[in-house]
Amino acid sequence: METIFLKNEGQEIFGVVHNVGLDTPVVVMFHGFTGNHIESHFIFAKLSRALEKAGISSVRFDFRGSGDSEGTFEEMTLRSEVSDARVMVNYARDKFKGNLGILGLSMGGTVALLTAPDLNPDALVLWAPAAKNREVFTSGGMPQQIEKGKYIDVGGIQISGAFVSDILTMNAFESAKHYSGPVLILHGTSDSTVPFKHSQDLVKEFDQATLVPVEGADHVFPSVQWSSFVIEKTVSFFAENLL
């Protein structure tokens, strides 16, 4: 495992590389809204270790404004995360010579959907993706609060009007039909953040996709049983499609 810093738009992106070998496949992970390269209950770190055992390298990183990357969360927009995602995927493609997989969690799933048509990974995994990003992020009256000149306080960090503008104008759900590779979607049936129904609708937009319900799970699979199930299914899918 090694740490890296890559420049994008004058700021550094912090990443962690699990290098199983330069000729191996690699999976690049996109974390969620207010998340980081480790993610809730260390699920990204656990996934990297499980991929290593299967002979697959991985790259985890913090979008600018999150975790250990430069920038502030107020400066973060959906466009900036899409830009960061492209930088990290291009790095992974240059470093590793095997096939490429992308995994996106929640808003990381939004970014994965927006970038998959042009980055064209060999396989795509989505965990509780915020595919209907407009519905997910505006259900709490966010645009109206921004119009009143307020930043939104999300657990001690702020988001801006520019972020809301991107959410309202960029359509991740529509992007799905432009990606033709194999897709696995894992989503908790009791998700209170992104409704399970969104993934039931999303799976129909792909040419070759499978939706696996995680029975009873909430948004980030917060139990040993749920997270172990999700990791096992993810590793198996990537092994089948990348090795």
For residue 18, how many C-alpha atoms fall within 13 Å in the half-sphere facing its CB?
Answer: 25
| Residue environment code for 28-41, b if the CB has 16+ CB neighbours within 10 A, otherwise e | bbbbbbbbbbbbbe
CATH number of the domain encompassing residue 235: 3.40.50.1820
Structural domain that includes position 227: 2-242
Q: What is the mean pLDDT of each run of 10 residues along the chain (243 residues)?
A: 97 98 98 96 98 98 98 95 98 98 98 98 98 83 55 76 87 97 98 96 97 98 98 98 98
* Structural domain total, the chain: 1
Among 111, 115, 106, 242, smallest CA distance to 186 is for 106
How far is Cα 93 from Cα 167, in angstroms, rounded to an integer?
Answer: 28
Helix (H, G, I), strand (E, B) or coil at 109: helix
The whole-number pLDDT of residue 83 equals 98
> Bridge partners of 18?
58
pLDDT of residue 150: 57
